[in-house]
Structure 1
Amino acid sequence: MSSDSALIRAALDAAGLAGAEDVPIGAVVFGPDGTELARAANAREQLGDPTAHAEILALRAAAQVYGDGWRLEGTTLAVTVEPCTMCAGALVMARVARVVFGAWEPKTGAAGSLWDVVRDRRLTHRPEVRGGVLADECAALLEGFFARQRDLG
């Protein structure tokens, strides 16, 4: 499988798919052999859907091409920012084996910052997690987006 940095670079590329109004967060699901199964960017504004986070959209697309329709066992999801509680819960429920993320999210992160949903010992599935991969690069993408939003008023 590719290095974790390469996985996050793919997620950074996916972030470029976000519409102008959407926060540029990208997620990519890789199969057990490292092949890309699906990629997506945050599309909440574009779709008018509060659940249209990059991770959710990538999981949905991957489930169409891998596994039995919802179990993504053996897969890895790479995302540019630490998953929120909704996305962390979806990763657990989809049985993703491994989560790699870029920037830490101290306000809403649910993979170690604010909460640690993905490693809660009470759950029946807990993916391996590696955070902070290319964190500065991922954070800069978000900071640039929010600076532009502030400039627009």
Structure 2
Amino acid sequence: MTATDRERDAMRRALSLARRGPRGLNPQVGAVLLSPTGDVVAEGWHRGAGTAHAEVAALAQLAPGAAAGTTAVVTLEPCNHTGRTGPCAEALIAAGVARVVYAVDDPGERSSGGAERLRAAGVDVEGGVLADEAHALLDSWLTAQRLGRPHVTVKWAQSLDGRAAAADGTSQWITGPAAREDVHRRRAEADAIVVGTGTLLADDPALTARRPDGTLYDEQPMPVVLGARGIPDDARVRRHPRPVLHRAGNHLFDEWGDPDGSLLAELRDLGVHRVFVEGGPTIASAFLRAGLADDVLAYIAPTLLGGPILALGELGVPTITAQRRLDVASIERLGDDLLIVAHPRPASGPTQEGTP
């Protein structure tokens, strides 16, 4: 049985509820309970570590026994393990829920298996409903579960002929106001923003997330600067609301297999879940070369610069058969500019997988 229109509508509502929950170590999850006739009878979402999971929060809205025969629509496969709270699969079974519709499989080694447990108890289960929307919401948590590291987005701006700056090194501004506004919104959604010292010294970026009127977003990413050269005392990043993390050496990318020597492991241990790599060609290429990019954002301006400063450098592609293919998720027009959002395809080579 495939999902009904009412179940799909309920999943959209569950995704909206999930966004109310905090981002962090735990996933944002929403749940909607439907009566046998398809009417919404209860809703819930996960409010943070140690609180009731979304399914249990929804069940708590009903009187004992009132959930019998209902359909639970959940953004994430109900968990099958006991942590700070009990397994949601067992709670749904005990409540007499007849059907469970969910969007994304739980990849956790300990928490997965809820769908199988539900089916074994005679509950009808349908997975993968609005999975793309749920993946977009849960991407950083899913990356952490699968790879044990933060989710990495690599961004660059370029001219139509693939240049990141003019021949003299100036690069402000290649793209227009709409593209820059989009970048700042994405900065505000990240936990850390990463640039190299080359970009820092050339552009003197503040590395803050700012609204169009120039005011700061409430949430600011941690500024991370990579490279052996020092940060000038009068650099704008020194006035960032958060302290700068400065680390030297691109070897930090190449040792992901050794958590003690990895930049991403250090950021993970600092509570960082979403990393926004923004500047410039050396740093962006290093993350891509190491297979540590989960998303790619390319802002393309309809202008020509020529010259030697390319948007990307060496990627370890000696021949066309080794090219690094991307799956395009979206193409959006932002003023005169284009934004291409893409995801690197998994590859067989260890440097492209980026797994520990």
Bin the TM-score by the shorter chain. Answer: 0.7 to 0.9
1:90 corresponds to which residue?
91
Cα distance change on mapping 1:149 and 1:118 into 2, 3 Å? farther
Aligned-pair distance for 1:38?
A: 1.1
2:48 corresponds to which residue?
44
1:73 aligns with 2:68: yes
Gaps of 5+ in 1: none
1:103 corresponds to which residue?
104
SS of aligned partner of 1:74:
coil
What is the rounded CA distance, in whole Å, between the counterparts of 1:131 and 1:53 in structure 2? 18
What is the rounded CA distance, in whole Å, between the counterparts of 1:141 and 1:84 in structure 2? 18
* Count, aligned residues: 137
Q: Which among 29, 35, 40 is matched to residue 31 of structure 1?
A: 35
1:138 aligns with 2:134: yes
Gaps of 5+ in 2: 81-86, 142-149, 152-188, 193-221, 223-271, 273-356
Q: Indicate the RMSD between aligned Cα atoms, in angstroms.
A: 2.3
What is the rounded CA distance, in whole Å, between the counterparts of 2:23 and 2:65 in structure 1? 30
What is the rounded CA distance, in whole Å, between the counterparts of 1:17 and 1:28 in structure 2? 14
Question: Higher strand share goes to which structure?
Answer: 2
What is the rounded CA distance, in whole Å, between the counterparts of 2:34 and 2:123 in structure 1? 14
Compute the TM-score of the two structures, normalised by the length of structure 2: 0.35
Question: Higher helix share goes to which structure?
Answer: 1
Aligned-pair distance for 1:16?
A: 2.4
1:13 aligns with 2:20: no
What is the rounded CA distance, in whole Å, between the counterparts of 1:105 and 1:140 in structure 2? 15
Compute the TM-score of the two structures, normalised by the length of structure 1: 0.77
C-alpha distance after superposition, 1:69-118 (max 9, x if no partner): 13522211100011101011111111101100001112222234xxx111
| Residues 104 and 135, structure 1, Cα contact 8 Å, conserved in 2 | no
Using CA pairs under 8 Å that are at least 6 residues apart, name the structure with larger relative contact order, 1 or 2. Answer: 1
C-alpha distance after superposition, 1:5-45 (max 9, x if no partner): 22211211211221455632100111112111111111233
| Residues 17 and 40, structure 1, Cα contact 8 Å, conserved in 2 | no
